[in-house]
Amino acid sequence: MFRLSAPPLLLLLRRLAVLWLAAPLAAPWAADMTLILDDTAQQYGEFAAQLRSVNAASHRLTQGKVDILPLDSLRQLDGPQAAAPRASPDDGDSVLAGVRTRSARGSMLPDPGASAPTPSTAARAEGNDPGVLVAVGPRAARAVVQRAGNEPVLLALLGRLEYEELRALPALRRPERAIGVLLRDPAAAEQLSLIDAVLPGKRRVGVVTAPQAEPLMRELASAALTWPAQHPSRGGRPWAIAAADAPDSNALTGALQAVVPASDALLVLPDPVGSTSAAALALLQSAATANLPVFATSEAMVRAGALAALVPGNAQLAEQAHALTVRLKQAPPGPPVVEAPRRLTVRTNPHVAKRLGLALPPDDVLTAAVARRD
């Protein structure tokens, strides 16, 4: 006598359906993560959209849940006393390319004329679970870190110097919850790899920095010291870093005059010199006069006249941010987990390359060369 049984695939689908239907009953308002944006949707909207897409793909059937709030609405996570959100006719689907949010342009701000919360709003207030708090940008990072609570926190898209400023906060020195940090700037070792890929064998790099950039210079010096041992196939010659400080615009010309003769290329760090338009343009003009290539950390600098830059894409940053949130959900309190962008893309300026007499391979070939590990 044979017993008939449902195919294994059908049983699996039935079990998944039961779990899918039961999950909302267990935690009807739980979010996988709540993004706190400290600037306009135009600056962070694409990253938020990509992060929601990655999270949805990871859940497959349930699609996951990502809430998005502007910084001014952070207090709405603090309990039932928070004001009721103002819903739009389409229940808040915003312009953030599919990001489910009621607040991309401030619509989560309390409405002075709002009536009493509806039953569904009250239920959310009572069972509010923001999941992992993802602070996007430096102002949001400071506010979220200083906020009381034990939810895991991810500080996303911080510059290296912005993170250095936050490290003095007690919440980061004595964390009571799991904290992750995703930087937007490439690591110094990656920048040296880019210079090596574009200018093989060249080892003299000039840097003009602001006084605040000391942490960046320490990292660059360390990367220069360890790079030959970590990349033996690319030649064991050490790097020589010629550096000069430019505390103000008056000192910039003298700093460049000291650095340019001792350099095969100039490296623009993500510090006040590199982020100030006038200083960056002066550096690019001096390099052009001396026929020196300039390497940077932003695509804008490449368009302005730098030869090449390493830039992270929003899709890649979102994938890395999502992986960090998964780890943080299970991590105990402790020192922040800090990660630089892992997947970077090379951007080059072909007009500058032609002026310098350089025949560069395509950007994707250079990207692969930078990512190659010995």
pLDDT tens for 135-192 read 999 999 999 998 888 889 999 999 999 999 999 898 888 878 899 999 999 999 999 9
- What distance in Å separates the CA atoms of residue 282 and residue 272, rounded to the nearest whole number? 13
- The pLDDT of residue 39: 64
- The pLDDT of residue 221: 95
Q: Encode burial over 82-114: b for 16+ CB neighbours within 10 A, e otherwise.
A: bbbbbeeeeebebebeebbbbbbeebbbeeeee
The answer to whether 96 and 48 have CB atoms below 8 angstroms apart is yes
Domains of the chain by start residue, with CATH: 8-183 (no CATH), 188-296+344-371 (3.40.50.2300)
- What distance in Å separates the CA atoms of residue 274 and residue 211, rounded to the nearest whole number? 13
The answer to whether 115 and 302 have CB atoms below 8 angstroms apart is no
- The pLDDT of residue 116: 35
- The pLDDT of residue 128: 56
State the pairing for strand pair 153-158/179-183.
Answer: parallel
- The pLDDT of residue 290: 95
State the pairing for strand pair 344-348/308-312.
Answer: antiparallel
Residue 160 tokens read as: 């290296």
- The pLDDT of residue 275: 81
Q: Comparing C-alpha atoms, which of 215, 213, 257, 222 is closest to residue 241? A: 222
Among left, alpha and beta (phi > 0; psi -120 to 50; other), residue 291 is left
Output the CA–CA distances (angstroms, integers) from residue 216 to 210, 219, 256, 280, 351, in the order listed. Answer: 10, 5, 18, 17, 29
The answer to whether 175 and 151 have CB atoms below 8 angstroms apart is no
The pTM of this model reads 0.76
The answer to whether 339 and 180 have CB atoms below 8 angstroms apart is yes
Q: Comparing C-alpha atoms, which of 160, 157, 187 is closest to residue 370? A: 187
Phi/psi of residue 63, each to 5°? 70, -10
Low-confidence ranges of the chain (pLDDT < 70): 1-31, 39-42, 60-64, 75-130, 235-236, 373-374
Q: Kindly report the three-state secondary structure assignment for every residue of 226-264.
A: HHHHHCHHHCCCCCEEEEEECCCHHHHHHHHHHHHHHCC
DSSP letter for each residue of 44-112: HHHHHHHHHHHHHHHHTTS---EEEEEGGGGGGGG-TTSPPP---TTTTB-TTTT-B-S-TTSTTS--T
Output the CA–CA distances (angstroms, integers) from residue 40 to 4, 92, 205, 209, 262, in the order listed. Answer: 60, 16, 37, 29, 42
Which residues, other chains included, contact 303 with Cβ-Cβ below 8 Å and sequence gap of 6+?
349
Q: pLDDT tens for residues 282-291?
A: 999 999 999 9
The answer to whether 220 and 195 have CB atoms below 8 angstroms apart is no
Among left, alpha and beta (phi > 0; psi -120 to 50; other), residue 83 is beta
The answer to whether 206 and 266 have CB atoms below 8 angstroms apart is yes
